[in-house]
Structure 1
């Protein structure tokens, strides 16, 4: 009886293991392949998000440059600054004319908090909204950098702050641009310095993040300044906080990192060549592996069903194998007891090998 049971159990165990190991191997290999492909697709999608968002911001920055040029290169303002003489002031104070010039600028003004025009000697001669008229340009921290610039827009990183106004609570940043002569009857005077345009803008309007769009994709997208301050993003709670600067190393791009206590796939790239900003995309690891987990669970369910069916078939086969052995064992026992009137009718094939 023990031999019969041992043979039966060995047959079932061998049959079971012959299917279990391949199924486990298939599940493991499938998980590795699906996880790798999921990560590959996530990297591709994240790079597209970074490029698209950077492109949108780049377009708005170009619109901002158009606005600034509309103001500082307007014939009216150029004429005022070219004729500006702080010593004689033989003309009426041009504040209203400058304010009018600013108001005629392009539609990018909705991103602006203020634009202030300074003459070359530092006099504040006009602004979009109220501004300190007594303070000279050379008393501001940006003056030296602006004076030495070649006319490019200088973003003032130290001016990033959270403010509250009629538009609500939002981030803002300031910048400055040197004004140069582009209109003059004397050609030799074209290109000379005329003054400075100082501006403050609404970063939330510039960056324009749609929170729901990225949340539904399991992503967080930020714009991070070169000093690692978060200028804006899909998670409003992070505005103004510091991003881990070590994560902005090229070696960490498209790798899994820990942010805010969770695992994310980090993808980033420069936002625009003219600004020291980065567009950062963080995709939840659980979201990336969601499809892989679903596929593995499905495969596992199918495998369990197959194993149950195969186990049932193995038991039936083991029973059919052990039944003649059990009958043969009983007949041998009868022979041992002296009963030789036995005829083995069932051909099992077990003894044929001998």
Structure 2
């Protein structure tokens, strides 16, 4: 039921007393603001000047590494130095490359000429040994010396004559240190410049090589005492087997020792530059002659430069290599005899390119000069561009702090001059804007005071109307709430019934899907059982076939044994044929060739049979492994068949259970449908009751809402008036930090 609102009596309540106090305070505040606004409008209140935090000199070099001047200086300095250094280093490296290439070509030509001279000299030594070999007198005397039927005195005279002829050969060539004839048969004695022990010589490496050469000359590595071990100065040797010119029977080993000093004089005039050296090395890159070493200490030792011994560069060439001490040298080399000995010329690269160091020093000097020029250019650019920007930045900092009177005047027509003019115009516009804003703030302050008073009166009236309206709406609201609660409860029950019905339908569909999936899984399991049976049958057949293949490999091994025995018989037959052909002499040479070919064919057959036997053993081993794997896999296939059959039975049981579950869900769905129809009738009845109650409550609440809304608007007007007043005061405070008088920068 609605209650009547009584009018207040003449006596004032506590609420009315508070309202009167608030009204009095608002009137006092309004009067103070009006006085302040009138003084501001008359110009009695001045705007305080801003307090600047330091002068422009304090911020002049803040963060100098990020300034435009520093960036210009670094850019110019880096660019000039980079260009100078790149050009200088390229010139230095190019000159070094040209000098190195020219030196390599020149050294190679010099070494080639020296190699030709040495080749001629060594060919003369070789020809001299050949001359001794074909000398008829020496051949005749050697035959007498080896003739056991002659008297001892006659053989002594023959050895004396051979000794004299050998000495004449040595004396006729000043390059020879000594000559020797070493007998190949036991019991003989050596002839030559001194007596040699044949037993000791047989153990030497050069003697064995000379015998194996069978008449070809061999060159012997140089040493201090020479091949004979009797020399008193460093020598190298040449040796060859001396044969009988009639029977070609080896008789003696001829040895000539050649003075190393003669060869050293030959290559001593060769000069490849400062610090260069020329040496001889053998085919194994060991020193034969090294004039740069004292006391011949390096003879027979490895060279300090690794010359290629294989490939296209093995015979001759010119390369840049590192010696044993790690120094870079230019090595030019060329082969000069049939033993593969080489003449090697080495020149330190450091000595060759020392003249190019002047370019490097000149590059450093030019770099220093370029750095000084870059500093001068940077200074001019900084004075021209960076300093005006620093001044402009400092004035903008002062403007940021509130001093709007700053100006910058530069007598320039470029972009920087245009920038300063734009800055001055911008500061003038900002100054004008601040002055206009001050006048507008005064007007807003006065208007806010009037609005505050009107809002206060409206709020008092709206509050009295709201109290009466709230009592009318109270009774209608209670009735509407109860009806709404019953309607909500009925709706909740209805929603839950629909949810249960929907869930039941979903369960019915899921059960049908599970039943279909079970049937499909059962069909797949039947197919899997059939395929697993086929796989088991194939595995059984594979085991049988592998066993047959194992028997076949055993037969192959038996055939290989027969072929191997046949090869052995062929070898024996070939050996017998060779023996018979040797007995037949010259008439059996052709048959001997045939027998040799039969023996080679038998060897090839035996080799092929061995390879086939190895392959057969490999196949046999892999077949055994395959049989073992299949034997292990067959029980697993049988277990798989059993598991698949058990899985099929499980699928069939699941399908039966799902059929019974689907029938139960169908009956539950029918019962829930009937319950849902009854709930719908109850929901319609509660909706009708709730509608009537809500209509009655809505009418009362609408009246109360309008009253409350009016009260809220009145209070909002009061608050907005206060905010407007605060904003006006803050605007005045913000504008007070700007000043329009001050000094300008005209520099």
Q: TM-score range by the shorter chain?
A: 0.7 to 0.9
**More displaced stretch, 135-144 vs 58-67:** 135-144
**More displaced stretch, 86-95 vs 135-144:** 135-144
1:154 aligns with 2:218: yes
What's the CA shift for 1:115? 0.4
Distance 2:143 2:191 in 1: 15
What's the CA shift for 1:114? 0.9
Superposition TM-score, scaled by structure 2 size: 0.38
CA distance 1:272–1:337, change in 2 (3 Å): same
Distance 2:207 2:417 in 1: 105
What's the CA shift for 1:194? 5.3
Counting only pairs closer than 5 Å after superposition, residues 38-57 of structure 1 correspond to structure 2 as 38-57=99-118
How far does the alpha carbon of each residue in 1:209-248 deviate from its partner, in whole angstroms, 9 at most, with x for none?
Answer: 7679658433233322344432212322352252169934
**More displaced stretch, 204-213 vs 323-332:** 323-332
Counting only pairs closer than 5 Å after superposition, residues 149-188 of structure 1 correspond to structure 2 as 149-157=213-221, 160-163=222-225, 170-180=233-243
Hey, which of these two has a bigger chunk of strand by percent? 1
Contact residue 214 and residue 241 of structure 2 kept, 8 A: yes
What's the CA shift for 1:61? 0.6
Instruction: Name structure 2 gaps, 5 residues minimum.
Output: 1-56, 423-747
What's the CA shift for 1:143? 5.3
How far does the alpha carbon of each residue in 1:303-345 deviate from its partner, in whole angstroms, 9 at most, with x for none?
Answer: 3223323432442343344576688899999x979699x9754
How far does the alpha carbon of each residue in 1:17-72 deviate from its partner, in whole angstroms, 9 at most, with x for none?
Answer: 22122223323433443444444344434433543443332222112123323444
1:221 to 253, 257, 278: 278
How far does the alpha carbon of each residue in 1:89-116 deviate from its partner, in whole angstroms, 9 at most, with x for none?
Answer: 3546134433443344388732322102
CA distance 1:306–1:216, change in 2 (3 Å): same
CA distance 1:120–1:20, change in 2 (3 Å): closer
Which position in structure 1 is the counterpart of 2:563? none
Distance 1:61 1:115 in 2: 16
Counting only pairs closer than 5 Å after superposition, residues 184-199 of structure 1 correspond to structure 2 as 189=246, 193=250, 195-199=252-256
What's the CA shift for 1:162? 1.8
Counting only pairs closer than 5 Å after superposition, residues 52-131 of structure 1 correspond to structure 2 as 52-89=113-150, 91=154, 93-105=157-169, 109-118=173-182, 123-124=188-189, 126-127=191-192, 129-131=193-195
Contact residue 146 and residue 154 of structure 1 kept, 8 A: yes
What's the CA shift for 1:154? 1.9
Hey, which of these two has a bigger chunk of helix by percent? 2
Let me know the Cα RMSD of the aligned residues.
Answer: 4.4
1:257 aligns with 2:322: yes
**More displaced stretch, 42-51 vs 62-71:** 42-51
**More displaced stretch, 79-88 vs 320-329:** 320-329
Which position in structure 2 is the counterpart of 1:186? none
Match of 2:174, SS state, is helix
How far does the alpha carbon of each residue in 1:177-236 deviate from its partner, in whole angstroms, 9 at most, with x for none?
Answer: 223456xxxxxx386655431222223423447679658433233322344432212322
1:307 aligns with 2:390: no
1:240 aligns with 2:240: no
Mark the structure with the bigger radius of gyration.
Answer: 2
CA distance 1:87–1:306, change in 2 (3 Å): same
Contact residue 94 and residue 125 of structure 1 kept, 8 A: no
What's the CA shift for 1:140? 6.3
1:21 to 59, 82, 92: 82
